[in-house]
Amino acid sequence: MNRGPSAEIDLSAFAHNIAVLRNVTGDRPVIAVVKADAYGHGSVEVSRRLLREGVSMLAVAFTGEARKLRDSGIAAPILVLFDRDELNDYFELGLTPVIQDIRTADVFSKEAVSRGKKIRVHIKIDTGMGRIGFRPEQAVSDAVRVADMKGIELEGLMSHFSEADLTDRSYAMHQIQIFDGITKELSARLHRPLICHMANSAASLSIPEALFEAVRPGLLLYGHSPFEERYGLKPVMTIKTKLLAVRNLPAGCAISYGRTFCTLRPSRIGVVPIGYADGYNRLFSNNAEMLVRGRRVPVAGRVCMDLTMVDVTEVEDVSEGDEVVILGRQADETVRASELSAKIGTIPYEILISLGCRARRSYLN
């Protein structure tokens, strides 16, 4: 496939971003979240590099994602956050399930016994995210029940924040308090420590009380901060392509579907081979900038399926074939995922995944 944009993934940036993380988390084990094809960066290459940089465990959403990693020779522990139907995968691939209720624990226990095996599990506590997990009221007694089940080895306890990225930390602190109480009571009942982890990127960077025994970041590893402050993180991915055409047009020309942009002066319009089929959101119509020859240029008119026009009138010596950066850095200018997400009312995560999952990837070491 040779359609539009390419994604350049700078693997060396992971070392830098992990150093930023370790600056606040010390030498706690890192469980690196590589779900959704490593946030659009390519899970196999990214996981290999992250493991080389010293992360202890990988986390994916579904067992299919873990299978891809195992098939490429990755032997590290893999935590599967959400899946529970693919029992066979867990045993065949040696994966660590996140247990979210007693019934599921029971199913894993029976399967382990019938295979004459033990399976390591982590238990999820719903401390306020309201998504999945054991309710706090019965969490300790339920977790003890799970720990006592045949074939099950309870290794970890986890929870997830609902709003660790706000400046008002009161709800996050409330969740921490609940989790902390449960971890202490449970360790006492089981007479042994568990690996307790709760911190996503936002909490890892900003809430010391959230760190527990291990941290579980995604976004920051890829070089993006959940906050205005960037913490010196280095974006891993650049999305770029080349100008398909540069056209000199007189004043008064309508550009693209629906004539939402009209040249007000004699203009140079660049045609960029990226569109909403490539994950470049149609809401960027007249509403985003790209980089050409180190300068910001505005999107002119509606984003099409495969093409988008930009006004390059102010760019000197611009010509067909010039590099266009859609996300990332060119010369001294940078378009950040947070800049794009803010323009269309979403979050950097969605920008990375929309653009990264569809582009042709190349890796820099």
Ligand X SMILES: *Cc1c(COP(=O)(O)O)cnc(C)c1O
Asked whether the beta carbons of 22 and 254 are under 8 A apart, the reply is: no
Binding mask 59-88 for ligand X (x = CB under 6 A): ----------------------x-------
Task: Name residue 169's amino acid.
Answer: R
Q: How far is 2 from 359, CA to CA, in rounded Å?
A: 9
- State the minimum distance, in angstroms, from the CB of residue 218 to ligand X: 3
Q: Which of 117, 118, 184, 257 is catalytic?
A: 257
305, HSE (Cβ side, Cα atoms, 13 Å)? 0
For residue 254, what are the β-bridge partners? 262
What is 287-309 written as a DSSP string? S-EEEETTEEEEB-S---SS-EE
Kindly identify the residues of this chain, within the stretch 155-174, that bind ligand X according to CB under 6 A: 160
Active site residue 35: yes
Q: Which of 35, 124, 234, 240 is catalytic?
A: 35
> Taking CB under 6 A as the rule, does residue 224 contact ligand X?
no
Nearer to ligand X, 261 or 349 (CB): 349
Angle at 20 between CA 16 and CA 23, to 5 degrees: 135
Count of chain residues binding ligand X (CB under 6 A): 10
- Kindly tell me which residue out of 219, 274, 304, 326 binds ligand X, with binding defined by CB under 6 A: 219
Nearer to ligand X, 80 or 271 (CB): 80
Binding mask 25-44 for ligand X (x = CB under 6 A): --------x-x---------
For residue 165, what are the β-bridge partners? none
Active site residue 257: yes
- State the minimum distance, in angstroms, from the CB of residue 35 to ligand X: 6
Nearest residue to ligand X by CB is 218
Nearer to ligand X, 104 or 287 (CB): 104
- State the minimum distance, in angstroms, from the CB of residue 337 to ligand X: 12
Continuous H helices in the chain = 13-25, 35-40, 43-52, 63-71, 87-93, 102-115, 136-148, 170-190, 201-206, 337-343, 348-356
- Is the Cα dihedral 20, 6, 44, 154 positive or negative? positive
Asked whether the beta carbons of 147 and 112 are under 8 A apart, the reply is: no
Asked whether the beta carbons of 96 and 120 are under 8 A apart, the reply is: yes
- State the minimum distance, in angstroms, from the CB of residue 349 to ligand X: 7
- State the minimum distance, in angstroms, from the CB of residue 81 to ligand X: 5
- State the minimum distance, in angstroms, from the CB of residue 215 to ligand X: 9
Binding mask 179-218 for ligand X (x = CB under 6 A): ---------------------xx--------------xxx
Nearer to ligand X, 182 or 312 (CB): 182
Nearer to ligand X, 35 or 268 (CB): 35
Nearer to ligand X, 173 or 277 (CB): 173
Cβ neighbors of 148 (< 8 A, separation 6 or more) are none
Q: How far is 336 from 227, CA to CA, in rounded Å?
A: 12
- Catalytic positions, please? 35, 257
The residues binding ligand X (CB under 6 A) are 33, 35, 81, 160, 200-201, 216-219
